[in-house]
Structure formats: structure tokens, C-alpha cells
Structure 1
Amino acid sequence: MSGVWQSLVVLVVVVAMAGQSEGFPKWLAWLDTKMDLCKEVCECPEDLVLAERQGIDCVDRNITYIQGGIDIPKVYTKVSFARNHIKSIAADTFSPSSSLVSLDISENDLESVPGRPFAELYILSSLNLRSNLISSVDPEAFGGLQNLTQLDISYNRITSLPKEIFEELTSLQELNIGFNPLEKLDEGLLQHTPDLRRLDLSKLHLKSIPANFFVANLTKLETVSLAYNQLKVVPSRTLHGLSSSLLNLDLSGNLFTSLSAYSFGGLSNLRTLTLEQMLRLTRIDAYAFGDLMRLEKIVFRYIPWIEKVDRRAFHKTENDEEPSIIPFDFTFSYSSLHTLPEDLLPWNHLHYVSLEFNHWRCDCNMLWVKMLPSSENRLEIRWCHEPSHLRGYRLVHVKDKDLTCNAAPAATQGAFGFLVVVMIAGLSASLATISLLVYWQRGWVCRRPPGAYTAVRRSGSTITITEEMDTTSEA
């Protein structure tokens, strides 16, 4: 038997060696160990139309490893490995492909991206590495991807990005870096991406942005999100570099305490501005939006400490009698706004207004809202929050005579002052009484003569107390 086993081992070795040559017979192809995605683990539509539209579906298949040299049949232009447990990829993971357009390895366990693992995917257009455990990215991680237009590396653990990491992504149009513990951005990070149109820098722990971060060649960048960072002021100097292209800006969740005059200087082409969850914003000053001449939509939502919106916030200069900026869509909801200046905006010309769930103070300053004709009244101010006797009432149901701004009556003020005086007098009398009782208890009032003492004699059930003088002291 031992001879038989030896012969089998020799046969296997010979076959393995023969497999390295071009003359390897086809009838031994079953010994090839390359992973066949369609036969083993994934779903591959056979219909040509579905194959091109849906691609290979390897989602949630408990894949832990992608074997090196994996082949993607040309009929499939998309492959998704999302929601698996893939821990690593290498430079030889993917065989050369001139057909694969989209690759999704999101929601896996990747810890790093080595140099040039996707370089053989010649026409790859979309790469999704979202929601992994990536903390290390090689400077050449995206080398060879000159045709890539979409890249998502958000929701990872990246703390720094090499300056040259996007150097070969000359066709990139959409870049999402958001939700990484990245505290600093290099000035030249985007200098090789002139076609960039959308950029997401949300939740990067940024306290500031380099003044020249948006380089001059970013003439197509239309949408930028800087939401949920740690910016204390609007980075107007940095954003000024996008004055000709920027259309949509999201600054939600930052640490602004106020929006001062001309906070968005130079952004004359901006169409949409979003400011949500501004937990420290207390006021919006005059001319805050004075440069946003083409603003179409502005969204304020979840601003719990807002105290004041200046009636000239949408004016360009103090000489303007009416607002210079008129957005079509105005939202200010789920906040603590108390009142609404009548001349803040030309309300009748707005296409959409949302003002629900604020802390409205229903007084004389809100009478103008109630007086609007029903056909023109788009200001749905539903519930009064103040004064207390009107709380819970709809503004439309409050009588005009109840919408007053009268100061507290003099009689009420006098009664309050009298109450304060009585409370102070009562407190003083109480303190004096307590002091007198303490003196009395400790014998500091009506003292006995010096030398006096008390004699106590007890016999049976009788106790006799006598006061005597110390005769020794008299002698």
C-alpha cells in the first residue's frame, strides 16, 4: 500500500508542475483552485440584460477572504461584496478586467488599503469602501484608477490622508471622506481632482480648514458638506475660493454661536444653505446672508437656543428698505424661535414656508400673521407657547384683543415689592427671636450673682433645691 500512496503523491506533484506550463491539458482544469463566485457563493443572473444591470450579488454571504487573482466574467459590470467579513485585500486580489465598472466592498472588516490593489481594474468608475475598519491608507492605494468618478471611504477610522493619495484620480467627481477621526486636511489634497463636483467632509473633527484648501482648479465643485465638525465660525475665507461654482452648502451641527454680517461673503451663486442641529446658535445678525444673491432654499432646523433673528438678516446694506435676498423655500422649524419679524422676508412671494414646532410668543408682534388673508397665509404658526394663558392655542383661534404687549400692571409690581419687604422683615424677626432664645438658654440673660450655686438634696421621694451664697468668698 505504501507504494500506491507514493505513486499518488508523485502524480499530484507532476500534475501540479505541469499546471505551470502552457501545455496543461484541459481535462485537468478541475485542479484549478481559483474561486468561482457564480458557482460557489454569489448570485449571478444569466440573462444578459440583468447581468449588466444588476451584476454579481455577493452581499451578506459570510465571505471572510477574497482569493488572489479572482476573475470577473466580462458580462458582469458590477460586483458587490457588501456586508461580509472580508479583512484584507492585496495587490493581486483582482485579475485584470476591462469590463468591471462598479466595485462595492462596504460594511466589511478591512483594516487597511495597500498600494495599488485596484490598478488592474482599468475602467473602474465607482469604488465603495464605506463602513469598514480602515485606519491605514497607502499613498498609492488608489493608483491606476484614472477613470474613477466616485469614491466613498466614509465611516472608517482614518486619522490622516497622505497628500498624494488622490494624485491619479484625475476623473473623480464625487468624494466622500465623512465620519472619520480626521482632524487635519492637507492644503494640496484636492489639487489633482479638477472634475470634482460633490465633496463630503462631514464629521471629521475639523476645528479649522486651510485657507487655500479649495484650490483654483476646482471650478466644477457644486456641493460641499462640512456638517458636524467643530468649526466655531463660518470658514468664509476658505469657501471664497468656490465663489463661482458652489451651489449647495451644508454647515449643520457646527459650533457657531452667531451668524454675523456677511458670514457667507463672496458666495453669490449659492442656491441651498442648510443649518440643522446648531446647538449653540443664539442669534442671526443683520446682513448675515447679505452676499447670497441667488439663494433659493435655506433650512434652519433643530436650533434649541435661538433668541433673535434680526429683521435685516436678508438685507444687503442698511440702505435697503426691503430684503435683497428672497429665497423661494424657507424652513425654520423644531427650534425655539419666539417671534417672526414682519419685514424679515416678503412672505407672500415665497413658494414654501415651514415654521412648525417653535416656541411662539403670541403677543402684539404676531398680530400681523393672524391678519394675513387666508389665501395668502402660508405661515402655519400652529401653537402658542407664551404667555401661559394662551399656551396650546392655535394662533388663528386667539382673539385679537389677547395679542397684547402690555407691561405688567403697576398694581402687580407694587404688590410684588410689598411681598419682598414683608419677606425680609419676617426673616429679620425670625433671626432675632432665635438669637434671644439662645442667649436665654445659655444663661446670658438674667445672670446669677458671681459665686452662686445650686444645692440639690435628695431623700426618699423628696428633692430639695436651695440657693446659697458662698460664705467663703465673703470671709
Structure 2
Amino acid sequence: MRTFYILFALIAYSFKVQSTTLCDSDFCVCRHNNKSDRDLAGEFVVCSYDPSVLNRIFGLPETVYSLDLSRNNLTTVRNSGLLQSNTLTELYLNCNQIREIKENALQLPKLKRLDLSDNELEVIHEDAFKYIKKLEYINLANNRLTSFEKISFHHLGNLNEIILNNNDLGASLEDNNLFDRSGYGLTHKIQSLSISGINLNVVHENFFVDAFDLKKLVISNNNLVDVFEIPFTLEYLDLSDNPITQISGEDFDDLLALKDLKLNNLLIKQIPDYAFASLHALKNLEIERNRNLTEFSPMAFGQEILEDADDFALENLSLKGSRLKTLDQKLEVPFGQLIRLDLQGNFWNCDCNLVWIKKLQIQKEDYEHLRCFTPKPLYNSRIFDLNERYFSCPANTRNVGTIIAVISFCVLLTSIALWIFLFLPKYQSRCNFVNNIPVPTAGYTVLPVHAPIQNR
């Protein structure tokens, strides 16, 4: 009988342990989401800083929504009770040292968001995502991926956002199409793609031909020297940190839906006429840290908005950290419509051609470093602290002085001429005075003929 009670106690204890969830442990933090949104209902579980977390015998709450296993120094994702759930929607495995994801390790049929960034993945098994077919978002940034030859996205039919930043994938993409079913197989449902810092040298002509619904593209921090054929469906485009030397209106001709454009830290020297004239939906434009940029054409947004800015959609413009010295006053009308304008950190020449900027409604936090670079007496002065009388044009002053000098010289010559004809002594004929002026001798002599003088 005693043996029976002991066995019963062990079974009961075992059942209790198996039924205990992570929320009953002392190494995880759980909180319940009380929002009315049904998709967000459930437990948010955070189990970071525990390298043995996948070996724990605790189970997941029945209504778990989000599980955070980041920063656990995990090297392998393998089968575990913590990775089996019919309700889990978000899984964070970022900031570990993961080198391998075992086949069938992720048995999460409701999973929509997966973060594997900041790991050491070189290869992903083709069946690693076999049981997460509802996945919509995946972050693979900051791994060691060099090719997609052993990665298949074909069966991720609901995937609409993928982040591949800072993987050395550039060489493998120069002759392949991410969206081609015979290639790497991203579906045409992809709406957001981030391939920043992948050592991409060129974007071939048909790279985005199958990206039918792409709305956001981040292709910054690569080695692109030219603007490529941009998908016309884009609403957000980031071309920053590329050695692009020039842009033109033709580059953005068909981007009728584009709302956000970032052109930071390029090698462009000017913003030419009509560069953004076709971007009628553009609301946010960043042109920051362009250290070769010295010219911004007043016609950059077209001619019409200079006279009537009612249809000017742009709300936020940043030109900070470049080498601009002045801006044409013709831009006063469109710039006056902006909600936010940042002109800080340029080499502004504070003369009469720039004083109009003080009329703009620039927010206080955006003019602390809006300062003069020249002329020397105004160096480092805050433009909005200066009185308008200091915005003079020395060049115009020199021109006026030149004109005055020329007029004075002409008056002097006129005065000398009048003196000669009015105040020459009467006994000397003015005509004789003129005749006595030395004349250069010629190569032959002409005998003068004088009329006889009659005696009176």
C-alpha cells in the first residue's frame, strides 16, 4: 500500500510539473494584454538571459500571443515544448548566437512574426519554416547569409515583409531575381523589402519586374552609383548612403504614389530643375548629409508651385548637414507651406539674398544650428537671432561705387572741356590753340597755303 501512495504521489507531481507554465517560473515575465483587439489577446511572455530556456520542462500558457527568447546565447533552435503552440503569433529569437535551425523545430501554425536578427546564420534548412505557413514578417538582418540557394520562400505565401540587412548577399543578387519563382522565390505579395548594407553593386533591369505590390523599399548603404528602374508601386523609398553622383526628374517620373523619399549621404552636387516635379504625393523628403551638395534649383519642384502652392503636397523637408550657401527666394511660396523645414548645418552666406528665410515658420528645435558661415563678422551667428539689417550685399555696394567713380570721371572730363572753351585767354585764338597742338610728322611734307593778309 505504501508503494502505491508513493507511485501516486510521483505521478501527481509529474502531472503538476508538466502542467506548470512559464508564467509560474521565476525566470520569465508574463503580462496579459487587455486590449480589445482580438488578434492581440493573450499572454506576452519574456524569457531572456537564460541559456537553458529551451531545456526547461515548463509549457506555454494556453493563450500565449508573444514569446521573447532573445539574448539567451542560444546556438541551435531545436524541438522544444516552448516552440509548439496553436496560439503563438510572435516569436523573438534575435540577439542570440544561432547557427542552425533544426528541421521541424518551429511548429507554430499561427505564427505571423519571426525575428531572427543578430545571429550567426549561414544556412537555413529548407524545411525550417515548414509549419509556419501563415508567416507575414521575418527579420534576418545581421546574420552571415551569403546566398539564398539553400533557402526557400516559395511556401511562405502570406509573407509580405522581409528584412535582410547587413548580410553579404550582393554578389548572389546581381544575376538573380528575388521575386522569380525559378530563383529565390519571394512571392508577389511582398510589400516591404529591406536590403540595406548587403554589398549590392548593381540592380539589373528586371530585378523588380515581378514585385507587383511592393510599397516599401530600403536599399541604402550599398555600392550603387546610378538610380535604377524603381517599381512604380512604391510609397516609401530609401536610397541613402550610396555613391550616387546625380539625380534627375526622369529617375522618379512614374512614382505617382511615393510619399517618403530619403536621399541622405549621396555624392550628388546639385538638385536640378524638375527633380521632384512628378512626385505629386510626396509628403516627406530627406536630403541630409550630402557633403558635395552646393546647389538647390528653385525649379526642383516645378514651375507651378512657385506661383501657387495649393497643390504642393510636401509637408516635411530636411536639407541639414550639406554644403548649401544660399537658396533662391522663389522658394518662399512652397517652403512657406511646409509643416517642418530643417536647414541646419549648411554653409549659409548671410547676405541680402538669404534674409527671406527669416520669414519662414521654422520650429525652434530646427534653427538652433541654422547659422551663418559667411561673411566672417557673422560666422556662427544664429540666423533667427540676427536683425535683418545685418543681411547686406557687399557685392552690390562695390558695384555702386564703381558706377559713382565712372560718373565722377565723366564729370571731370566735361569740366576740363568747358574750361578750355570758356576760360582760355582772349588774345589767343581758340582755333590757333587747337592748331598748335603737335601733330605727328608724316613721311612727306605738305607746304601750307596761307591767304594773304590785307592791311586795313
TM-score by length of 2: 0.71
Within 2, Cα distance between the matches of 1:226 and 1:31?
A: 52
- Contact 1:287–1:314, Cα closer than 8 Å, also in 2: yes
Does residue 252 of structure 1 match 2:256?
A: no
Aligned residues: 376
Does residue 399 of structure 1 match 2:384?
A: no
Aligned runs of 1:449-464 on 2, under 5 Å? none
- Contact 2:259–2:281, Cα closer than 8 Å, also in 1: yes
Which ranges in structure 2 are unaligned for 5 or more consecutive residues?
A: 1-9, 402-456
Within 2, Cα distance between the matches of 1:159 and 1:69?
A: 36
CA drift of 1:383 comes to 1.8
> Which residue of 1 is the match for residue 160 of structure 2?
173
What's the secondary structure of 1:199's corresponding residue?
strand
> Which residue of 2 is the match for residue 193 of structure 1?
187
What's the secondary structure of 1:327's corresponding residue?
coil
Which amino acid in 2 is paired with 1:101? T
> Which residue of 2 is the match for residue 230 of structure 1?
223
> Which residue of 2 is the match for residue 445 of structure 1?
none
Aligned runs of 1:327-406 on 2, under 5 Å? 327-344=314-331, 346-369=334-357, 372=359, 382-395=370-383, 396-399=386-389, 402-406=392-396
Within 1, Cα distance between the matches of 2:293 and 2:285?
A: 16
CA drift of 1:45 comes to 3.8
Within 2, Cα distance between the matches of 1:45 and 1:207?
A: 46
Does residue 204 of structure 1 match 2:217?
A: no
Residue number among 275, 297, 304 corresponding to 2:284 in the alignment: 297
Which ranges in structure 1 are unaligned for 5 or more consecutive residues?
A: 1-24, 412-475
> Which residue of 2 is the match for residue 266 of structure 1?
254
> Which residue of 1 is the match for residue 63 of structure 2?
75
Which amino acid in 1 is paired with 2:227? V
Aligned runs of 1:303-314 on 2, under 5 Å? 303-314=290-301
Which amino acid in 2 is paired with 1:303? N
- Contact 1:134–1:158, Cα closer than 8 Å, also in 2: yes
- Contact 2:124–2:151, Cα closer than 8 Å, also in 1: no
CA drift of 1:265 comes to 2.8
Which amino acid in 2 is paired with 1:78? S
Does residue 42 of structure 1 match 2:27?
A: yes
What's the secondary structure of 1:259's corresponding residue?
coil
Does residue 85 of structure 1 match 2:73?
A: yes
Q: Deviations over 1:192-218 (max 9, x none)?
A: 533323222111111122332324453
CA spacing shift, 1:35–1:53, aligned 2, 3 Å: closer
Q: Which runs of 4+ in 1 moved over 4 A?
A: 30-41, 46-54, 68-71, 91-96, 319-326, 374-381, 406-409
- Contact 1:262–1:289, Cα closer than 8 Å, also in 2: no
Which amino acid in 1 is paired with 2:67? V
Q: Percent identity?
A: 23
Residue number among 193, 214, 219 corresponding to 2:208 in the alignment: 214
User: What RMSD in Å do the two structures reach over aligned CA positions?
Assistant: 3.9
Within 2, Cα distance between the matches of 1:394 and 1:209?
A: 43
Q: Deviations over 1:356-389 (max 9, x none)?
A: 221101234324435x4x7799995842101223
